[in-house]
A and B are shown apart, each in its own frame.
Chain A
């Protein structure tokens, strides 16, 4: 099951280059604190960033600004998508 809700990074343990130590982040989701692994995250996050987590592993990190930018994009597309683009003539 994919969990689409990003979790906010509260604390980081480990170093992106050092695989001999644990790479862990403490994250917050809806006020509940949990830990996730950072071994396979695409970009090493900073405290305050968000991560997308799959089966205990962060797979993607994004900052809040990135997330907000995307919302704007969707909003824009929703209001400006020209209907004729989607209508086929005839049927």
Chain B
């Protein structure tokens, strides 16, 4: 057990790509926590998808031993948090478990939207904040300008900001010293009854549910019978350990320490993030304030391309939800797609990550239907229904009005792209709340409907600003608007998986864009295919996919039949990636691609 004064708990906040993971790697390496030969880049980003996309999804921790310049041995606990807006809520939870933050800003770029969003959460959590200007090895680095910007925009003192290159290792030692000298040690009573915060939990196929805890008071020991204060369930503690970053078992955790426990808990759902853990007997009196659980905001249907894979999908989804309490699912049937699941996600990235994992780790080809937000349908009879799926839209004669979720979006963008950003927000039915300048960058705040953002807003924003804009959002509530359900008919048959809710004034534009896209996405058939968008019974856009004209192998290769057979096999495999609607085969990717708007 470590003396409180020798513990420092901290997180790193940064905009994506500003160097959070690289800095964490350097800290781990510099202190010899991981031997050089075991070092691989981005140690804390464990999952393949995270590593590939460079994003962290679950909170990760690492315990670092550090001998400081004062000759004393310190224990530094780093909690690495997700950087993406979809997971903003997870960030805020992790922040409650530590006392300080390194604020990493790329000194060639400056403050970005996620820097702001995350640093405000750190300030909310009463963190001591140490600014770190990263990437000083690059010629474009401009520490003075960025330090000034931190003071102007965020309002914290940046005069003593550390100048670091996480790449070359320059300034890493100074960073470690700053952690020890500038961040406060945790407080806590060793002799008090056990009080621990449940920071996060996930499923491990060998150890079962792993619970990440921060000890506030008391001592957690192997063999203790612990009680979850939210539901009074009791579990015997089997293992206690810390991450280095691989697991290392120890016997106990004292106040101020961060580590994990296992206690034969079967499902992640049996643990509540933010819960207070104490001992079964002689437990603590008052629970910690707790967190509210994160709520899914985006929904879509996931269907196996091959109906026979439904059971595999069910299995895979239940396995994934063991590990991710923020991901919800319920069975859904669709006339055209058969059996599948309607799933809820924290955002579009979360959706993509889960879908990728289902396809990759579980090898299931999926059709993803149009993502939808939750609409509140106010019925004439005074009741209110939540609509998760446009296909379930009740008959309009019973509907009084519809409300949709809105967000407050903060966008930071260089001057020269401001016009494009304003146009994009306006096109997406946005209402400007604020527009201010910080140097040559504008900060735009917009009130936008979530349904205009979930889909491809972020992609569009990146493309109109050549990647220079940054974006963050928070939910602000529901508001009534004139929304209608738009259906798509392929070869005169409605395809419910392509139904979407749209604003009445934008229906025609969207409908036209969708049928045009579908015309390109659906391969030609032996007959011509009308593709229509309709509201109620009224067609608002129409395209015709003309019939295929030529598909034959002209010449004869002696008796080489196998060559022809390969061609047929290829055609067959291609068909497998498609789903039949009436007489028409629609490729799996069409369902999502059809919704993407280019303008």
Chain B binds chain A: no
